[in-house]
Structure 1
Amino acid sequence: MNIKFIMRFHDNTPSGGRKIVYEYMNYLVNKGNNISLCFVANTSFKTRKYNHLLYIKYYLDYLKRKKGQSQIDWFKLNSKIKIETRFSIDSSIADTDNQIIFAFDYGIALSIYDHLTNIRNCVYMIQHDERVYYDKNVIRQAWRLPMKKIVISTWLYKLVNSVDPGNVILVKNYVDLDTFYLTKPIEQRMKTVSLISHPNPYKGTKVGREALSLVKEQVPELRVIMFGTQPSPTDLPDYYEYYQMANESILREKVYNQSSVYLLPSVLEGWGLTATEAMSCGCALVSTKNGGVEDFGVDNYSALLCDVNNTKDISKKIISLLNDSSFRVKIANNGLEMVKSMNFLDSAQLFENVLYEINHSH
């Protein structure tokens, strides 16, 4: 197959959503497929507000950052994958008539629809309820486009299928079990909780920190390990440790395997990649009922679930695990067994089959 993946410009920092797609690309090129990756600075579409102003903004950004787009330091992309950089999407984006065009998000999908006359070979991957990034009406407009949609979780499948029935395929995310695994016995963990620091309010970092302050009042020996792509917040208490731009080895050894509990306090979550990584390293999961957690967080079995933004409930669930080692170990072991079934090869083969069917359906 001949497949072109289209993404927006990147800033060379780790991204869970991009990582999933990069790994699929490596898999596909190793299977003998012709894979290319196109980074686009400007994804204009008819219903985008301030198109003319954004054109200027993104053109300046294109001139400034186009040379750096071929450099991805945090992920090893197969050298056989051709990388190209464009200012915007136009009718020449497809190299051949039978090339599959893969849209990474709503803006790319809408821009492709506006500029290509033939979208039969187009597929649009949805990794979140994208209204967390843009106007809900525009997002639903993108979801109704007459192109196949791939979604990564059960709750997203239900949501997108309600907007565009019968045109949605579920390819669940996976856990990289060769990278994230136990190195420290679950029974020997200290009273340590880890979580991600993220600037998007939907990730719930503020709520998570507020809940952990309540935990500290009841569990004085609490330690917190935080990580993120941004510099360390300046107001972190002294019982916090922070890792910026942590690579997979640091996440496995210094974060997940040092933690008894992993906290996922998101308002909405497409999947929750860090949660499944932490579970595969032996953390007991405490999570809000954020959508994505449904595929791996079964309440009181593989996780403890809380209402969104409920700091008291979140803190209560964390305390129950930290103060009852046998309960924590039980939840952690159940979670570990659950995520072990979410292997890369199963997801990659299903992803390949979806693209194959699109390629041979016309």
Structure 2
Amino acid sequence: MNSVTFLMPAPGPRPVGGYKVVCEYANRLAATHHAVHIVYPAAACPERLTWRGKLRAAARYLYYRLTGRYSVKGWFPLHKGVREHFVRTLAPHRLPRTTCYVATAIQTARALKAYRAPGIRKFYLIQHFENWEFSDAEVLESYRYGYRNIAIAAWLQRLVEAAGAPCELIHNGFDFGFFRMSVDYTRKERCRVAMLYHTSEWKGCRYGFEALRIVRERCPELKVSLFGVPPAPALPDWIEYFRQPDRETFNRIYNEAAIYLGPSLTEGWGLTVGEAMICGAAVVCTDNRGYREMAIDGRTALVAPVGDAAALAERILRLIGDDDERIRIARAGHRYIRRFTWEAAYAKFERLIDA
């Protein structure tokens, strides 16, 4: 049985989908008697920082070291057997001594190259095509570092293999204990839509807001439940914002909504789309590669071109105006999403770690 260290790209005081995936694996490994560590750096790639960036990293290190707020425990219930570490950088001498190391982002994959202790095994959990701070060439090169690559979605597996590296596919699971349907399809508020709010451009919120504005013009009774981590933006009175909702509120948002809107330009997986399906919302979303893992147009969702607010609005209005189609889409999504379990995902992950 192996000991495992997960290398994170930054501290984790706020909810992040990719961190949630890592924590699910960490908890399950700890529950099956593996020694598990999670490491958060103040700077994952210090060699790429300007002098101003290095000053900010030093200040970040002092802040998190003094406050202890680097942990995910404020929003995710970690198993008591998972040990967390906060370090200046991911230099080898700062890492716990374990038999397996799992890079969870391109920054951590680059840092892990420097660690050459005998007998260790290196894995790379690939959750997106992370070309936000790195060039496409640098991202593709990271797949060829010689680690055991694990992709969370089929489109990422194809991308890694096209780059010339082998890759295992392990779809993410969903927490069917945390999220569940409590409001029947027929009792949902026909004109209520839910959407994630995020400040990153690639989440597509400006297209989502424009789509909702178009819908509101045609359907004045429209109500929107918005949720997210950032502070609330300026919103009209028909949009209610829930910042970092607790479990009960999160379930209520999804369950009250007849429709979930996913406007992202790109996703590695599309966690919120699956969560909405679990809770019986009919999904309207963009045709990005992450959503495609679960959103099948006309079957489990209504899908629109990426960046097309008018098309998203048209599909929302279509479901508002046709209860039978909305219920058909919602039921099909609810059935389909149940194939993605953490039990199945963890069984594959543990086999790789312990092989």
Interval of TM-score (by shorter of Structure 1 and Structure 2): over 0.9
Q: Give the superposition deviation at 1:72.
A: 1.9
SS of the aligned residue for 2:150 comes to strand
* Structure 2 match to 1:106: 106
* Contact persistence 2:12–2:72 (CA under 8 A): no
Q: Give the superposition deviation at 1:232.
A: 1.1
Per-residue CA distance 1:32-87 (angstroms, 9 max, x = gap): 111111111112266x363x543332122111112322462111101121111110
TM-score (norm 1): 0.92
SS of the aligned residue for 1:132 comes to coil
* Structure 1 match to 2:204: 204
* Contact persistence 2:10–2:40 (CA under 8 A): yes
Give the Cα separation in 2 of the matches to 1:287 and 1:315: 10
Residues 213-292 of structure 1 correspond to what in structure 2 (within 5 A)?
A: 213-234=213-234, 236-253=235-252, 255-292=253-290
SS of the aligned residue for 1:37 comes to strand
* Structure 2 match to 1:80: 81
Residues 126-205 of structure 1 correspond to what in structure 2 (within 5 A)?
A: 126-166=126-166, 168-190=167-189, 191-205=191-205
Instruction: Structure 1: state its 5+ residue gaps.
Output: 358-362
Q: Which moved more, 1:278-287 or 1:34-43?
A: 34-43
Structure 2 counterpart of 1:28, which letter? Answer: L
* Structure 2 match to 1:320: 318
* Contact persistence 2:101–2:120 (CA under 8 A): no
* Contact persistence 1:152–1:271 (CA under 8 A): yes
Q: Give the superposition deviation at 1:138.
A: 2.4
* Contact persistence 1:128–1:269 (CA under 8 A): yes
SS of the aligned residue for 2:80 comes to coil
Task: Sort the Cα spacing of 1:223 and 1:71 in 2 relative to 1 into closer, same or farther, 3 A.
Answer: closer
* Contact persistence 1:7–1:108 (CA under 8 A): yes
Structure 2 counterpart of 1:165, which letter? Answer: A
Task: Sort the Cα spacing of 1:133 and 1:245 in 2 relative to 1 into closer, same or farther, 3 A.
Answer: farther
Give the Cα separation in 2 of the matches to 1:138 and 1:177: 37
Give the Cα separation in 2 of the matches to 1:70 and 1:306: 38
SS of the aligned residue for 2:38 comes to strand
* Structure 2 match to 1:360: none
Task: Sort the Cα spacing of 1:146 and 1:317 in 2 relative to 1 into closer, same or farther, 3 A.
Answer: same
Structure 2 counterpart of 1:2, which letter? Answer: S
* Structure 1 match to 2:21: 20
Q: Which moved more, 1:143-152 or 1:113-122?
A: 113-122
* Structure 2 match to 1:4: 5
Structure 2 counterpart of 1:182, which letter? Answer: M
Give the Cα separation in 2 of the matches to 1:159 and 1:259: 35
Q: Which moved more, 1:56-65 or 1:100-109?
A: 56-65
Structure 1 counterpart of 2:27, which letter? Answer: N
TM-score (norm 2): 0.94
Instruction: Structure 2: state its 5+ residue gaps.
Output: none
Give the Cα separation in 2 of the matches to 1:104 and 1:60: 24
Structure 2 counterpart of 1:6, which letter? Answer: L
* Contact persistence 1:215–1:315 (CA under 8 A): yes
Match of 1:304 among 299, 302, 305: 302
* Contact persistence 1:150–1:171 (CA under 8 A): yes
Task: Sort the Cα spacing of 1:8 and 1:338 in 2 relative to 1 into closer, same or farther, 3 A.
Answer: same
Aligned-residue Cα RMSD (Å) equals 1.7
Give the Cα separation in 2 of the matches to 1:55 and 1:161: 35
Per-residue CA distance 1:280-305 (angstroms, 9 max, x = gap): 00010111011111111111000011
* Contact persistence 1:35–1:81 (CA under 8 A): yes
Task: Sort the Cα spacing of 1:58 and 1:94 in 2 relative to 1 into closer, same or farther, 3 A.
Answer: closer
Give the Cα separation in 2 of the matches to 1:26 and 1:11: 16
Number of aligned pairs? 351
Q: Give the superposition deviation at 1:347.
A: 0.6
Q: Give the superposition deviation at 1:263.
A: 0.7
* Contact persistence 1:119–1:147 (CA under 8 A): no
SS of the aligned residue for 2:75 comes to coil
Structure 1 counterpart of 2:223, which letter? Answer: R
* Contact persistence 2:207–2:263 (CA under 8 A): yes
Task: Sort the Cα spacing of 1:287 and 1:155 in 2 relative to 1 into closer, same or farther, 3 A.
Answer: same
Structure 2 counterpart of 1:249, which letter? Answer: E
Structure 2 counterpart of 1:248, which letter? Answer: R
The percentage of aligned residue pairs carrying the same residue is 27
Give the Cα separation in 1 of the matches to 2:118 and 2:270: 34
* Contact persistence 1:45–1:110 (CA under 8 A): no
* Contact persistence 1:302–1:332 (CA under 8 A): yes
Task: Sort the Cα spacing of 1:33 and 1:120 in 2 relative to 1 into closer, same or farther, 3 A.
Answer: closer
* Structure 2 match to 1:69: 70
Residues 116-127 of structure 1 correspond to what in structure 2 (within 5 A)?
A: 116=116, 121-127=121-127
